Structures are given as structure tokens and as C-alpha cells.
Chain A
């Protein structure tokens, strides 16, 4: 893993005091200090502009953008989402404004948030990823690049990179040499037999942090019309339905890869209530991202913060790090 200097910047510690106990919600993600572990999951919060009406954005631990590609993408045809039992399928197809418009139109707004920004990067070739990550090195408000090699909804690139350890090594290595100021977060796909293999490949090649998991490739069929519901055919399953699998995967990666390597995990997959957030911390996560639940309750990240602080007080924890991985090893 490449060594890096601690980033300057205000580590706005969020502390809540009650009964003489101080609950420190701040966490460290590979040298980037977050006031609390909670952030939106990529693709569920746009570029923050649409969200400002609903959320005190400055209370987020970090902000994670929708995937950015080198060129703008219109995305897949309609119909792009469908609700399933305790979850939803999406096949947006990485619709985004492209690197140039991101830099000129979206970055000024992100600058005003006052929280660290992680930019999710997608592409179809290694060169694409490198070009975007290179450009992000010069954007002060950006503190990390989240490498999306796990999108199930595009024909080229995406998940193709994310399911083969060799490819992961190659692309992570290429990005490693580009990300000098930004931390490199590799977002893992759950669509693999053994997630510890892909996690290990990313860590070996220099990932500073892992985020997991992206959506599960899935499908819904309209039985009356006898055709797939989504125009793309398949989509990615997210929401409460995937949470138990995500918890298992986070725990496996924590036990077998991340803990020894000292690499933090940003966990996501169906977080909705505070107990879900705690569950992921216990499984071994340091950061927590929420996607689908934001559509239902745009203010959920701040509710989760309060719930997490409450849990920590009830159980006598004074820092989030004490909760991380605090369950017996799975054998």
C-alpha cells in the first residue's frame, strides 16, 4: 500500500455529551477524518444539488457522488427501476453528466458542502478510469476516488473488471499510481463466489479502502406481457433484501483481508435503521453508506447518526472504532 501523508483540513469532530460520557462519532478512512461514519451511497444522491432541500448536508460524514465517466452518458432506456419485495432493481446505466460538466457545473456546489467528497469513477477502459482520476487530483474538495468496477448495468467495463481478481489488480494498480493526493477506494461487487479473493486483489494492488457492496445482478419478469420489466433486461438489487448477505460479505472481508492489512471498509447494502448501521460496524465496517433508504427518507443519514450515538451510549462505547468488528470471529 502506498504511504501517504495525513491530509490537512478540519477534522470537525462531532461529539454528543450526555451523562458525562462523550460519544465520539468520528472515524478515519485511510487518513481522511470524517465527523461521523455516515455517507450517501453512490448514485443515490446525485451531486448533492437535488438534496439540499431535504438534508443538512453539512451533517454528513462525507459525500459520495454518482458515478462519473470520461464522456457524458444518457443511460439505459426506460423502464429503469422496479420495486421488489423489500428492495428494488435498478438499471440506470451510469447516466451522468461526464467529467467536464462535473468539474465546471457540479464541483462548485460540492465545495460549499464543507464535508469530504469521494467521487465515484466508472469507465469502459483502464485509460478512461485513469483520465478521470487524474483530473480529480487537482480538485481540492475531492478527497477520494471510489473505483466503480462493479456496476451490473452496462455492457462494457463495470462488473467485467470487478469479478476477475487479475483485472482488479490491473486497474487498481493503474489507479494507484494516479491517485497521489486522493485516497483510492475500490468498490467491490457481490456477484462473485468468494469476495475475499477480489478484496485481496484490490488490497494487494494498493487500495486504501474498500467499499462494499454494489448491487446484486437480478431480474424481474412481467408475467402478463412475458418480457423483462426493465428495458435493460437485468438490473441490480438493492435495499433491505440484500442486507444479511452484505453483512456476511463485510464480515468475511474484514476477518480474512481488511483487518490484517489495516484497510478500512465502507459498508452498504440495505441500511435503513440505526440497528442496521450498528450491525455493519460490528461486522467490521468503519464507514457506512446508505442508498435505497434515502429515496424513502432523505433525512435518514442524520437519524442514523442519532441512533448510532444512542446505541453507543447505551452500550458504553465512547468511539466508533470500539464497535468496529466487535463480534466473535466466524469459523
Chain B
């Protein structure tokens, strides 16, 4: 019955700090099923059950149960955390997946201490992922911690012969979760090969809110300007976007206005990630429904949605 997704024991292969708030974590996950860009995993950001289970064996007639269950003494998260796949490599049975995460709270802070060799529990791959539209030309718009899934997408698109332009934004230079060739970063929306994490053919524009790197302003401003300068405007393009909701809404508006097909990877608070708890709802247009809309689940129907379908 087990097919395309499951729970896997992963080992930390490498971890590296990328900038003030972002880390890149590479996990070795033997037998990880086929995945695609836009999909995510639910990562247990504490020691896995298996390693805490022996506690149960210590109580017998002479050692009564203690009120020292991990959840009562440690500041640990209980639920898993959704993190996008930022890349993967396979050789034979061995699979490595890349994650890029931003430290925002308890779980992500705990992750920073995961040493190479440590065991982590991975549930996935989850969600629908992006649906690349064949060859042609793609523009990838990412903001902050929305950039990671687009790196995986850029790789897949480039492999399929698609021309990739990336427009990536962050608040400030020190918060850009990328390996950047500072000298080559254009100061206007004219893409160049300035990011080591993208395939060599891909070109990129970087933006920062405070203007400390690349173009000053937001990624959606840069998208507008780039489209204005582009021969043929939005013709022949497909847009893929992930980032903070205000950025995604702005990009969706720009694309809808120009009839530019646009896929967005959304974020929601998730308890399960598997479609069972109904917590991660997204409002989408539904002509069959009386009121014209229906709730879809971000974790299984998404996280990738067509911009034109979204009522947010």
C-alpha cells in the first residue's frame, strides 16, 4: 500500500550558515521517493521517537514512572515543521535532499544545532509541486525564505531546456539566503549569472528593500520593470513564485493583468501535512459551489496554486 510518501530516517550530511538568519541543511535520506520542486517535507525538529523510546524501559517495580517525560521538562516542539525541498541528488539508492531554512522560532533554532551524522525524521515528500509547462521561458520570483523551492525548480527547468530568469528579493544584503557573486550583481533589472546556487545557464536579478545589494525595492517591482523592458512583454513566459504573502499577491496581480500563467507556492500553518487535519485551508474559486468558492488544502491540493484560482 505504501507508495509515494512515508516517514524516513534521515542523517545530517552537512549544515552551513548562509547568512544572518538562513541555514542550508543537507540530509541523506536512503530510499526517499521521487519528488518534484514545490513539494515539501514535514521535519521533526527534535530527536526522533526512536531515540527517546528507551526511557520507557527504565521503569519497573524499583523505578516508578517519573514526571520527567521530555515534553514536560524540555522546550521542544511537538509537531513537525513544513520545509520545502531546495534540491536533491541521487546516486543509486542514496538520496540527498537540500533544505534552506530561516531561524524564526523554537523548531528552527533547534535545527541549527543538528550536527553531521545526527538522525532526523523526515515525512514526505508532500504536496503537489510545481507543474512545469515544457520548454520555453520561465521567470522565477522569490522573496526571502520563499527562494529555496525555486532553486530546485530552476535546476529541473534548466535540465528540461527551459530558459530561466530569477528575480530574488530579500530585506537586506545580509539576509539573502544565496551564494552571490557580489561583483556581478546588476544594479538594475537586467539579469546576469550572479548566483552560484542556480544552474549556469540561468540569469538573475537580486533586489533588497534597503538597496544594500542589487536593485533597491521589492522583487515584484523588479518583475514589473523587467517585463516592461522585455521584448514581447509577458509573451511566451510562465511565472513561478514563492515568498511572503504580500509579494505573492503583488506578483499574482501583475501576472493576471497580463495573462501570464503564474503558479504560486503558498504557506499555511500545518499540523499534519498529509491532508488529515483540515488545518491548512486556502480559499479558491469554484464555479460548482453555491457561493463561488471552496476551501482547498495547502498540504495536499497545494502548496502550489494557479494565481487565477486564488481568493487567498
Residues of A at the B interface (CB closer than 8 Å) are 43-46, 50-54, 56-57, 66, 74-75, 78-83, 86-88, 90, 92, 95, 239-241, 272-275, 292, 294-300, 303, 307, 314
Contact = CB atoms under 8 A, between A and B. Distances in A.
23 contacts: A43-B278, A46-B275, A52-B1, A53-B1, A53-B5, A54-B6, A74-B295, A75-B281, A79-B269, A80-B279, A81-B269, A82-B269, A83-B77, A86-B72, A95-B278, A239-B78, A275-B65, A295-B79, A295-B276, A296-B44, A298-B274, A307-B56, A314-B60
B80 interface: yes
Given A303-B49, A307-B56, A80 B278 contact: yes
A208 B126 CA distance: 40
A293 B226 CA distance: 48
Contacts of B300: 50
B133 interface: no
B103 interface: no
Q: How large is the interface on B (under 10, 10 to 19, 20 to 34, 35 or more residues)?
A: 35 or more
Given A295-B80, A297-B49, A298-B7, 19 more contacts: A43-B277, A43-B278, A54-B6, A78-B282, A80-B269, A80-B279, A83-B78, A86-B78, A88-B271, A90-B271, A92-B279, A95-B295, A240-B69, A274-B56, A275-B56, A275-B59, A295-B272, A296-B44, A296-B80
Nearest to A56: B1
Dominant secondary structure at the B interface: loop
Contacts of A53: 1-6, 274
B78 A78 contact: no
A298 B281 contact: no
Interface in B26-52: 44, 49
B79 A83 contact: yes
Contacts of B282: 78
B71 interface: yes
Contacts of A83: 77-79, 271
Contact of A78 (B72, B268, B271): B268
A90 B77 CA distance: 16
B6 A75 contact: no
B227 interface: no
Contacts of A79: 269
Q: Which 5 A-B pairs have the closest CB atoms?
A: A81-B279, A50-B275, A86-B71, A295-B272, A46-B276
Given A74-B295, A275-B65, A50 B281 contact: no
A303 B270 CA distance: 24
Given A240-B69, A273-B53, A54 B79 contact: no
Contact of B7 (A82, A95, A299, A307): A299
Contacts of B277: 43-44, 81, 90, 92, 295
